[in-house]
């Protein structure tokens, strides 16, 4: 259970400023590094279009859009994780563990396999619907005249397994040229470009803004259902809204990056450690930290074995798993 004190030893505004600074620094590093070592001068020439067409193409067509996609995906998953951990009052909750990613992945894969002519613009909405469907299944399974956080988490684990199995089944019977759908299962950012950035951007902006506005409700929910009702909150309705919001954030992320584990699980913990359990403060910090984490992880994935790449999902798991274990060991 989330038990940190409302306050924190850090100044919340300072933490937010520092996270944004970290994000800016991460993105700078990410645009500077890649399979080819351009050096700072050429990167700047490319960035400001100073007559170096090779550098301009590498920076503007390859690195910048991919860094943006990584940032949006990281922010979406982290905020979704924060919402889900708050709703379930369970520190183990996250878009991956609760089956939202699996639902989004299943919807994406099904759309691509069953109707290969579907415009890419419709994959994100499909993933959104898939994540919401998964959320509703989880919600329905957990419902006993109310939602118990533990039952919610267990239903999520079962639902995630179900949707992942269904994805595998669809893939096993798929025909030609669906290699791209494999990336939905593995998670990756290879060859993501401006179209992918434009796809996820509106979801990050709109749903992120809503999440920021309603994050305060999580503070009330954290006091327990009875207290929240006593304070006039329609608890079940609010919980549903928050879950749907998390589903939207997760679905749009999965549509462009596939299923990336650990980001949505680990980052919310980091945000709450830094700013305390006030979700209005934790939400923007989680977004900035999540974006930074995925931007840095993706940079590693592009650079370590260049010109080949390590799938970014492996990097996030390698970084995320030990951090998560550390959290479990050090926090009661």
Partner 1 sequence: MRHGWQRFLLVSATLGALFIAACGDDDDPTATPAATDSPTEVATEAPTEAPTAEATEAPTEEPTAAPTEEPVAATEFPLTVRDLLGREVTLDAAPENIITTSPSAIELLAAAGGTAIARSETAVHPEGVADLPSIGPTYQPAFEAMITMAPDLVIADVSAQAHLAEAFEGALRGVPIMFVGAVGYDDVATSIRLIGQAIDQNAEAATAAGAMESALAEVQAATADLTPPRVLIMNGAIDDFFVALPDSFVGDLVAKIGGDNVAEGQPPVGRFPGYTQLSLETILVTADPEVILTITAGPPGTPSLADLVLDDAGFSELSAVTEGRVHDIDLEVFLQAPGPRAADGLRELARLLYGIE
172 binds partner 1 (CB under 8 A): yes
194 binds partner 1 (CB under 8 A): yes
175 binds partner 1 (CB under 8 A): yes
Q: CB of 285 within 8 A of CB of 19?
A: yes
Taking CB under 8 A as the binding criterion, the range among 174-182, 214-222, 286-294, 316-324 that sits at the site for partner 1 is: 174-182
36 binds partner 1 (CB under 8 A): yes
* Complex with partner 1: residue 64 or 211, whichever CB lies closer: 64
- Dihedral in degrees, nearest 10, Cα atoms 236, 242, 246, 252: 110
309 binds partner 1 (CB under 8 A): yes
116 binds partner 1 (CB under 8 A): yes
| Backbone angles phi and psi of 143, in degrees to 5 | -75, 125
Give the torsion sign (CA, 116, 122, 124, 129): negative
Taking CB under 8 A as the binding criterion, the range among 165-173, 203-211, 277-285, 317-325 that sits at the site for partner 1 is: 165-173
* Complex with partner 1: residue 78 or 183, whichever CB lies closer: 183
Provide the minimum distance between the beta carbon of 179 and partner 1 in the complex, in angstroms, as a whole number: 5
- Binders of partner 1 in range 203-242 (CB under 8 A): none
Cis peptide, bond prior to residue 307, ω within 30 of zero: yes
Provide the minimum distance between the beta carbon of 63 and partner 1 in the complex, in angstroms, as a whole number: 8
314 binds partner 1 (CB under 8 A): no
Residues of the shown chain interacting with partner 1 in the complex, contacts defined by CB under 8 A: 34-36, 54, 57-58, 61-63, 112, 115-120, 123, 171-180, 182, 190-191, 193-196, 306-309
């Amino acid at each position: 259970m989330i038990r940190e004190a409302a306050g924190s030893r850090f100044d919340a505004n300072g933490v937010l400023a520092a996270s944004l600074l970290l994000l800016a620094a991460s993105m700078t590093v990410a645009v500077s590094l890649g399979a080819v070592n351009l050096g700072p001068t050429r990167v700047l020439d490319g960035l400001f279009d100073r007559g170096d067409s090779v550098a301009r193409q590498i920076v503007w067509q390859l690195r910048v859009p991919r860094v943006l996609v990584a940032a949006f995906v990281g922010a979406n998953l982290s905020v979704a994780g924060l919402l889900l951990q708050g709703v379930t009052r369970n520190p183990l909750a996250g878009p991956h563990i609760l089956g939202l990613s699996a639902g989004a992945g299943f919807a994406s894969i099904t759309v691509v396999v069953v109707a290969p002519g579907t415009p890419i613009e419709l994959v994100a909405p499909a993933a959104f619907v898939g994540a919401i469907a998964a959320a509703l299944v989880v919600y329905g399974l957990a419902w006993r005249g109310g939602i118990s956080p533990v039952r919610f988490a267990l239903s999520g684990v079962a639902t995630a397994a179900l949707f992942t199995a269904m994805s595998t089944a669809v893939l096993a019977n798929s025909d030609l040229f669906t290699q791209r759908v494999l990336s939905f299962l593995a998670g990756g950012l290879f060859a993501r470009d401006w179209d992918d950035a434009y796809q996820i951007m509106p979801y990050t902006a709109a749903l992120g803004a809503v999440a920021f506005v309603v994050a305060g409700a999580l503070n009330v929910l954290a006091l327990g259902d009875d207290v929240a009702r006593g304070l006039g909150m329609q608890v079940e309705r609010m919980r549903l809204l928050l879950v749907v919001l998390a589903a939207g954030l997760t679905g749009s992320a999965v549509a462009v990056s596939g299923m990336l584990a650990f980001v949505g699980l680990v980052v919310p913990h980091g945000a709450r450690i830094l700013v305390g359990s006030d979700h209005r403060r934790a939400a923007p910090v989680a977004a900035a930290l999540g974006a930074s984490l995925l931007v840095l992880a993706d940079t590693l994935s592009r650079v370590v074995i260049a010109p080949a790449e390590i799938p970014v999902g492996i990097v996030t798991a390698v970084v995320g798993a030990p951090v998560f274990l550390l959290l479990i060991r050090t926090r009661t």
